[in-house]
């Protein structure tokens, strides 16, 4: 059985995690809204991910809201045995108005409430990594990050991260609190944040690319990666992930799936070693 260990590891604080994680956004109902269509399957997928060596899980209060967190708590709490060393990243700073609707809200009181609700719904005493889901343009950054820094000092958050940010925002943030991870849209066919990735690599910031499979477009049979995938007797999804893993040692893809076979396939991608030529050929597809 192939496990994630082939991709190597990254470390934050006292926890080390394999360099392929799992994103929980496919688990709530359609439009990332409401309960899972099949909660039993969702819990099976989470448990299977751990069996396959995944120990980094990305979630957010806004997924459902709270559907993904509660599924994680149901599956993993009290975080003993196999589940003892799970590393959880979650996010605050977005409100939900319905399926596929998201609105940033960075009021400090709201952020504090959401950190507390993340702790409660995940069933943990402290959050390993807390992302500000979006910087709210209506609120000064020092108020948003300042509140999260206070909660870090209170021991409720271990590490802080920012999502969908540019380099000047990272530089401004560093004056308020240290950023340990960035989570930005990045995949083979959307590399508009190449400079942010390079900056993250230079500063040893973990880079978590969201939509690593371009929401499935890179994974299907019509994928631009199909030809190279055939050469490696792999699936296009696996090549998309293998390319990300080779692109940077700070890269931590978190493909999302509610399908057990896809999960196993994504994990097996960590064992694929692309040649330098194929890596470049894929880079040129952009």
Among 36, 75, 257, 270, interactor with ligand NAP by CB under 6 A:
257
Of the candidate residues 266, 267, 268, 282, the single one contacting ligand NAP (CB under 6 A): 266
Contacting ligand NAP (CB under 6 A), which of 7, 18, 49, 58?
Answer: 58
Least Å distance, CB 132 to ligand NAP, is 10
- Write down how long the chain is: 286
Q: Is 10 helix (H, G, I), strand (E, B) or coil?
A: strand
Q: Output helix, strand, coil percentages for the chain, rounded to the nearest 5.
A: 40, 20, 40
Q: Which two three-digit tokens encode residue 161? A: 């991260």
Contacts of 7 (CB under 8 A, 6+ apart): 18, 19, 20, 245, 270
CA distance 146 to 124: 22
User: Among 72, 255, 267, 282, which residue sits at the site for ligand NAP (rule: CB under 6 A)?
Assistant: 255
Q: Answer yes or no whether residue 262 interacts with ligand NAP by CB under 6 A.
A: yes
Q: Which is nearer to ligand NAP, 145 or 154 (CB)?
A: 145
Q: C-beta of 254: minimal distance to ligand NAP in Å?
A: 5
Q: Measured between alpha carbons, how far is 4 from 232 in angstroms, rounded to an integer?
A: 18
Residue 214 binds to ligand NAP (criterion: CB under 6 A)? yes
Distance CA 57, CA 49 (A): 9
Other beta carbons within 10 Å of 175: 9
User: Of 59, 36, 32, 214, which is closest to residue 129 (Cα–Cα)?
Assistant: 59
Complete edge-to-edge strand list for the sheet that includes strand 56-58: 22-23, 56-58, 87-92, 127-132, 157-163, 181-185, 206-210
Instruction: Pick the closer one to ligand NAP by CB: 24 or 152.
Output: 24
Residue 118 CB, nearest approach to ligand NAP (Å) = 14
Strands 9-12 and 15-18: antiparallel
Which of these segments, 23-31, 80-88, 112-120, 193-201, binds ligand NAP (CB under 6 A)? 23-31
The closest of 212, 210, 184 to 197, measured between CA atoms, is 184
Check 22, 63, 110, 186 and give the catalytic one. Answer: 63
Tell me which of 23, 64, 106, 161 binds ligand NAP, using CB under 6 A. 23
Which part of the chain contacts ligand NAP (CB under 6 A), choosing from 103-111, 168-176, 188-196, 208-216? 208-216
**Least distance from ligand NAP to the Cβ atom of residue 232, Å:** 14
Q: Is 110 a catalytic residue?
A: no
For ligand NAP, the binding residue among 18, 26, 118, 121 (CB under 6 A) is 26
By CB under 6 A, the residues from 108 to 127 that bind ligand NAP are none
Q: Is 223 in the site for ligand NAP (CB under 6 A)?
A: no
Specify whether the CB–CB gap between 59 and 22 falls below 8 A: no
Q: Which of these, 132, 136, 248, lies nearest to 186 by C-alpha position?
A: 248
Site residues (vs ligand NAP, CB under 6 A): 23-26, 58, 163-164, 183, 210-216, 219, 235, 237, 254-259, 262, 265-266
Active site residues: 63
């Amino acid at each position: 059985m192939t496990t994630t260990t082939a991709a190597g590891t990254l470390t934050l604080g006292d926890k080390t995690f394999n360099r392929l994680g799992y994103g929980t956004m496919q688990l709530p109902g359609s439009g990332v809204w409401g309960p899972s269509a099949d909660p039993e399957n969702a819990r099976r997928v989470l448990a299977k991910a751990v069996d396959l060596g995944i120990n980094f899980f990305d979630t957010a209060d806004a997924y459902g809201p709270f559907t993904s967190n509660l599924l994680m708590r149901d599956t993993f709490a009290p975080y003993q045995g196999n589940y003892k060393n799970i590393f959880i990243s979650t996010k605050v700073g977005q409100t939900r108005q319905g399926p596929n609707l998201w609105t940033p809200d960075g009021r400090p009181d709201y952020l504090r409430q959401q950190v507390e609700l993340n702790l409660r719904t995940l069933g943990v005493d402290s959050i390993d990594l807390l992302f500000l889901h979006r910087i709210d343009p209506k609120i000064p950054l020092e108020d948003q990050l300042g509140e999260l820094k206070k909660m870090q000092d209170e021991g409720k958050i271990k590490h802080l991260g920012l999502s969908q940010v540019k380099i000047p925002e990272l530089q401004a943030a560093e004056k308020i609190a240290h950023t340990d991870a960035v989570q930005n849209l990045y995949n083979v066919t959307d590399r508009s944040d190449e400079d942010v990735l390079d900056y993250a690599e230079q500063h040893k910031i973990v880079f978590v690319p969201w939509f690593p499979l371009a929401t499935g477009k890179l994974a299907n049979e019509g994928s631009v990666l199909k030809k190279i995938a055939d050469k490696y007797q792999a699936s296009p999804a696996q090549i998309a992930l293998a390319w990300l893993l080779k692109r940077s040692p700070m890269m931590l893809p978190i493909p999302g799936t509610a399908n057990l076979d896809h999960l196993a396939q994504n994990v097996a991608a960590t064992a694929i070693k692309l040649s330098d030529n194929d890596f470049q050929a894929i880079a040129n597809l952009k």
